[in-house]
Amino acid sequence: MTTTSEAWTPPESEPAAAPAPISPADVTEAARLVSFGLQAKLLPARDAEYGELVRRYREDPPFGRLADAVATGMGLVVLEVSARAGMAVAAAEDSVFAVRMGDYSRRAASESTDRFLHGLAHLAVAALAFPRPEDLADDGYLGRVTVNGVDAFVRQACRRLEERAEAEGANTDPASDAPGLEAAWRVWARRSATGATKDARRLAGSTTGIVSKAVSFLVDSGFLQKTSDDSGGTYRTTARYQLQVRDLAGGAAMAELLDLGVVPVSDGTPTLAPPDESDELVADAGLPFHAL
């Protein structure tokens, strides 16, 4: 009896399923998610549709890539998409949504010197909100800043810079190409903290007035939330601001400001160095920040 054996061949594998086509409804939802991200103060927890779109972004990779592409086409950079921050986006330099610091400062002040001080105020707020690298890395960290505390911090930095300039025999009138902070401390230190009125009202051109304008802008941008009127105004940071400062943290100016040692870190609790008695400080210029 003859047995005929046939060569075994493996079954043909099924062809990979083609990706689902992108529908107009998908594009609409992706654009809708980006539009939510542009509403700086809105969080997924406060809007059911926003929360559902964030969930889909994280669980449906093709939809996530589509939303990223929509954002890119609008000149936006996606920093994070999460329940805590929503769709946090930053505008690229050439984006129609970009709010340049120069535009802000021109609106905030007419004098070029004041515009420079507004930039310094923003730098100081960021440095105080997240003084340590681990603060930026910890998604659960909340910084707190106060208007009076920020002014006190900058004045402390001014004093440290003045001491350094004297030790190095620096000219009291720095050249135009001097480092930004070296040139800035003289301007800020000479400016009144509150103004010259009899009741010491906060004037727009005073240093606390400049800080107040800066934090108000950050509140409108969804970066800070006001918690009280204490110490000239007390504010806490948002997840969106933490993401923005992560990008700023590598800047030379911020590193130079923190390296002055005005914010010593010992047991993990940030604090201001004791002020010099000659410093002009407004009332309640105490701790400008802490972890909540």
Q: Are residues 165 and 225 in the same domain?
A: yes
Split at pLDDT 50, 70, 90, the class of 99 is low
Residues 118, 243: one domain? yes
Q: Which domain holds residue 243?
A: 101-170+179-260
Q: Are residues 28 and 130 in the same domain?
A: no
* pLDDT level of residue 29 (50, 70, 90 thresholds): very high
Q: Are residues 84 and 191 in the same domain?
A: no
Q: State the pLDDT confidence band at 64, using cuts at 50, 70 and 90.
A: very high
Query: pLDDT, tens digit, for every residue of 142-156?
Result: 899 999 999 988 888
- The set of long-range contacts for 183-187, using a CB threshold of 8 Å and a minimum separation of 24, is 184/116, 184/117, 184/120, 185/157, 185/158, 185/161, 186/158, 187/113, 187/116, 187/117
Quick: pLDDT tens for 215-242.
998 998 889 999 999 989 999 999 988 9
- The answer to whether residue 79 sits within a structural domain is yes
Give the residue with greater pLDDT, 136 vs 185: 136
Q: Taking residues 90-106, what's their average pLDDT?
A: 67
CA pair distance 231, 254, nearest whole angstrom: 24
225 shares a domain with 118: yes
Within this chain, do residues 249 and 119 fall inside the same structural domain, yes or no? yes
254/119 Cα distance (integer angstroms): 11
Task: Give the CA angle between residues 115, 116, 117 to the nearest 5°.
Answer: 90
Tell me what pLDDT residue 183 has. Answer: 62
pTM: 0.68
* One domain, residues 136 and 213: yes
The confidence score (pLDDT) of residue 182 equals: 55
Of residues 151, 148, 192, the one with CA closest to residue 285? 148
Residue 238 placed within a domain: yes
Q: Are residues 87 and 107 in the same domain?
A: no
Number of domains in the chain: 2
Between 112-129 and 147-167, two packed helices, what is the crossing angle to 10 degrees?
A: 100
